Amino acid sequence: MMRAMVLDHTADVASNPLQFRELPPPEPGPGEILVRVSVCGVCRTDLHVIEGELPNPTLPLIPGHQAVGVVSRVGAGVTEPSAGERVGIAWLQHTCRICEFCTSGRENLCEHARFSGYHVDGGYAEYALVPAPFAYPIPPIFTDEEAAPLLCAGIIGYRALRLSGIQPGQRLGLYGFGASAHIAIQIARHWGCQVYVSSLKPDHQCLARELGAAWVGGSTDSPPDKLHSSIIFAPAGELVPQALRSLERGGTLAIAGIHMTPIPSLDYDREIFGERIIRSVTANTRQDGLDLLREAAAIPLKPRTVLFSLVEANQALQALKSGSFQGAAVLSIFA
């Protein structure tokens, strides 16, 4: 039997919707690997799934898509990774591989994609399955706890940086300073960018300064300089007009969240004109993950983590929702 935290129905995390269960461990099918999970990051996307803001999760469900562990068994046809290797399980779990998106390097847009901890069981458990091609080798420089937030917060932050078009030496704005932003700033600083951070929480503002932000303000403060690119990590649609007004002409605003509250109407002259660009960030490709892990190891990145036990998953989600910690929350499965 394996221990797991299970969602039977979507609900506000304040009601402790995840229930502790002991279940039979899953069996790896053809092309799959069974991972004995040691840690799993707690992501805002988990919050959106559990509270019903993302539609039609597969219930009952084991959430989690930032799992790190060791391959326990492999299914038929799997040649790598092999038993005993350390791997990570991320959000993207399956694509059709034959549609126009999959065949043009845009598998993140596949309409038949399946996602860990949403369509299939994820990493809030002692064991989890993943198709072998979707498992990530973890660079040895990172502990399991450090690696966990890289598998979504890191990958999405990295893709958002790329899609924002930011270049070395330019000014980058970050709106919201949670798990993903605290990794993105480290990459941007490594690229030689000046980073301007707007955040609601004083503790998050302190971490931004510690990580080298050129300017830090509140969530409604305007940066003192025009920005070449910006990323909104907070799921707050009301930030979009403000972020657009702060962009330099020709700048790009990347919206990194999988869910966002409604965006207010935009004033064309103030917020769009001047060839400003708005683009969303939708999941990630496997290449994004491989590139992020390689660059993260080379820098090396230092994720800030707060550890919870598996049975404290509800409390970890509540703390994430309230923004009561810096960096990323991680569940220790065997603690």
Are residues 124 and 89 in contact, defined by beta-carbon separation less than 8 angstroms? no
Give the pLDDT confidence score for residue 131 in this predicted structure. 98
Per-residue three-class SS string for 117-156: CCCECCCCECEEEEEHHHEEECCCCCCHHHHHHHHCHHHH
What was the pLDDT predicted at 220? 86
The residue assigned the tokens 């221990």 is 3
pLDDT number for residue 149: 98
The model's pTM is 0.95
Given this model, what pLDDT does residue 335 score?
72
Q: Which domains does the chain have, with CATH numbers?
A: 2-151+304-332 (3.90.180.10), 154-280 (3.40.50.720)
Q: How many CB atoms lie within 10 A of CB 272?
A: 15
Residue with tokens 């330019």: 170
Cα–Cα distance list, 52 to 7, 257, 318 (Å):
11, 15, 15
Question: What is the pLDDT, as a whole number, of residue 10?
Answer: 98
Interatomic CA distance for residues 55 and 184, integer angstroms: 28
**Phi, psi for 25 (deg, rounded to 5):** -65, 145
- Are 168 and 193 in contact by the 8 Å Cβ rule? The answer is yes
Task: Please give the pLDDT value at position 210.
Answer: 97
Q: Quote the pLDDT of residue 170.
A: 98
DSSP three-state, residue 228:
strand
- Averages of pLDDT over each 10 residues, the chain, 335 residues: 98 98 97 98 97 97 98 97 97 97 98 98 98 98 98 98 97 97 98 97 96 95 97 97 97 96 97 97 97 98 97 98 95 91
